[in-house]
A and B are shown apart, each in its own frame.
Chain A
Amino acid sequence: MSQGIEIPVIFNVGQVEVTRTVVTTWGLMAGLGIAAWLIKRRLKPTPGPFQMAVEAMMTYLDEQIRDIVGREPPRYLPLAATLFIFILAANLISLLPVVESPTADPATTSALALIVFFVVPFYGISERGFGGYLRGYLKPAWIMLPFNLIGELSRTLALSVRLFGNMMSGQLVVGVLISLAGVVAVVVEFLGLITGVVQAYIFTILTLVYIGGAVRSGAPAEEGEK
Chain B
Amino acid sequence: MDMKSIAIIVAGATIAIGSIGPALAQGRAVAAALDAIARQPDSASLLSRTLFVGLAMVESTAIYCLVVSLILLFGASPLMK
Task: Give the B-binding residues of A (Cβ under 8 A).
Answer: 4-6, 64, 67-68, 158, 161-162, 164-166, 168-169, 198, 201-202, 205-206, 209, 223-224, 226
A206 near B53: Cβ-Cβ < 8 Å: yes
A205 near B67: Cβ-Cβ < 8 Å: no
B49 near A4: Cβ-Cβ < 8 Å: no
B70 at the interface (CB under 8 A from A): yes
- Among B2-10, B25-33, B58-66, the one that faces the other chain is B58-66
Given known contacts A4-B73, A158-B60, A162-B59, A223 and B53 CB-to-CB distance under 8 angstroms: yes
B77 at the interface (CB under 8 A from A): no
B53 near A162: Cβ-Cβ < 8 Å: no
**In whole angstroms, what is the CA distance A202 to B5 when docked?**
36
A198 near B73: Cβ-Cβ < 8 Å: no
B49 near A64: Cβ-Cβ < 8 Å: yes
A202 near B53: Cβ-Cβ < 8 Å: yes
**In whole angstroms, what is the CA distance A168 to B50 when docked?**
25
| Count class of interface residues, chain B | 10 to 19
Prevailing SS type, chain A contact patch? helix
**In whole angstroms, what is the CA distance A161 to B46 when docked?**
26
Residue of B nearest to A169 (CB): B66
B36 at the interface (CB under 8 A from A): no
Residue of B nearest to A202 (CB): B56
**In whole angstroms, what is the CA distance A120 to B1 when docked?**
49
A161 near B67: Cβ-Cβ < 8 Å: yes
In the complex, 27 of the A-B residue pairs with CB atoms within 8 angstroms, ordered by the A residue number, are A4-B70, A4-B73, A5-B70, A5-B74, A6-B74, A64-B49, A67-B49, A68-B49, A158-B63, A161-B64, A161-B67, A162-B63, A165-B63, A165-B66, A166-B63, A198-B52, A202-B52, A202-B53, A202-B56, A205-B52, A205-B53, A206-B53, A206-B56, A209-B53, A224-B50, A224-B53, A224-B54
B60 near A161: Cβ-Cβ < 8 Å: yes
Residue of B nearest to A163 (CB): B63
Given known contacts A158-B60, A162-B59, A165-B66, A201 and B52 CB-to-CB distance under 8 angstroms: yes
